[in-house]
Amino acid sequence: MTTTLQPYLEAVRKTLEAALCLQQFGSQVVERHNKPEVEVRASKELLMTPVVVSRNKQERVLIEPSINSVRISIGVKQADEIEKILCNKFTKFMCQRADNFIILRRKPISGYDISFLITTTHTEIMYKHKLIDFLIHFMQEVDKEISEMKIALNARGRASAEEFLKRRLSFTFIVLSILYCAVCYASDMQEIENDDQNFSIQGRASLRPEMISPSNWWAKSRVLVNYGKYIGFVREDGSFVVDGVPSGSYIVEISNTDYIFEPVRVDITSKGKIRARRLNLLQPNTVNTIPYPLQLVARQPARYFRTREEWRITDVLMNPMVIMLLVAFFLLIVTPKLAGSQDKADMQVQMPKMDMPDMADMLASLFGGDGKKGSAKKAVGPPSKKTR
């Protein structure tokens, strides 16, 4: 450790020792969620004052503490254009491996070259002093690595130039090699500029007038670009801005625990022209443009449970068993009545026939004698009473 660098690193060490006093703290917005408050920034009372430890304009460290996480952003020394190119390549190489480097942040904070995020989970599985030693060691080694790469690059360029001169190349080839180096340098510089030429997606989220608007609905909302590849937050007035989005076509939606918002598609050209249109997954080529900045209105409240069914008389009457009983009851009551009415009609038809004489009696009376009539009448008459 050099004499000039030691006070700078000691100041960073002491600040980290004071900031890494973390504890488990659940979210005050979403129940049973434990998110890094320094990243979410939903509760201002849980964020502490950021500290900047600076050696010069380029070499500085930003320490942002909160109750359950600390974010450390490091600015690396870049004396000339070659060091800028080397630093950009080196930090890109590190950030692409953030999945295996658990405290490394995938994207650095604006104005810094690389960022780290330490949470209570990290302090529980790793020693606090070893984390601080690692960060101090990283700050020493990154300067050393860039200086060594610069020396190696200069030596390689010098050796190449000497080799070309030894072979007595013509002036044309020398000019071409110079032009090639200039083009490579320009392309690297253009790549660095393109990294900074990202765009922002802006808009406003709101609820329908008939919906009951809770006081903190915006705190529960997140703006998701391409299903969480880029994430933004909704401000208290409903506006939102998602920064760092390159050119391309993206699906923008708002995720909220209480309301459902309709997603839209946003197209960004390389020149920064932004067009918004309705999302149609069945017919992607259909273009229905909508105004930009986005105006996203909640479609309906989110329903997580099915409404309990109520007792209704129609459900009982439409039951197949009840229908069968009703039909049987109808047949039992109505069928005898129909049969009874038919019997009465038949009786009315048969009543006149009862007064007509019997044909056999008529013939007997015609061809028989008086005695027979008397005997017949006597037989027909009532029985006589016997005297005792």
Which domains does the chain possess? 6-169 (3.30.1460.20), 199-301 (2.60.40.1120)
Dihedral (Cα; 285, 287, 288, 289), 10-degree rounding: 140
CA 113, CA 107: separation in Å to the nearest integer? 9
Per-residue buried b or exposed e for 125-139, using 16+ beta carbons within 10 Å of the residue's own CB: eeeeeebbeebbebb
Helix, strand, or coil here: 131?
A: helix
Assign residue 228 a region (left: φ > 0; alpha: ψ between -120 and 50; beta: otherwise). Answer: left
CA 59, CA 283: separation in Å to the nearest integer? 52
Q: Cα 271 to the chain's mean position, in Å?
A: 30
pLDDT at 73: 92
CA 46, CA 29: separation in Å to the nearest integer? 12
Give the lowest-confidence range in 308-312, 323-327, 340-344. 340-344
- Looking up tokens 């950009």 gives 88
pLDDT in tens, 177-231: 788 788 777 776 766 665 557 788 889 988 888 877 777 888 888 899 988 888 8
Query: Residue 174: which H helix or E strand, with range?
Result: helix 171-196
pLDDT in tens, 302-323: 887 877 778 888 888 888 898 8
pLDDT at 385: 47
One-letter amino acid for residue 357 of the chain: P
CA 161, CA 178: separation in Å to the nearest integer? 10
pLDDT at 386: 47
CA 299, CA 293: separation in Å to the nearest integer? 19
pLDDT at 271: 83
Prediction pTM value: 0.42
Give the lowest-confidence range in 176-180, 188-192, 240-244, 334-338. 188-192
pLDDT at 379: 45
pLDDT tier, 71 (very low <50, low <70, confident <90, very high otherwise): very high
More confident: 15 or 378: 15
pLDDT at 375: 47
What mean pLDDT value characterizes the chain? 80
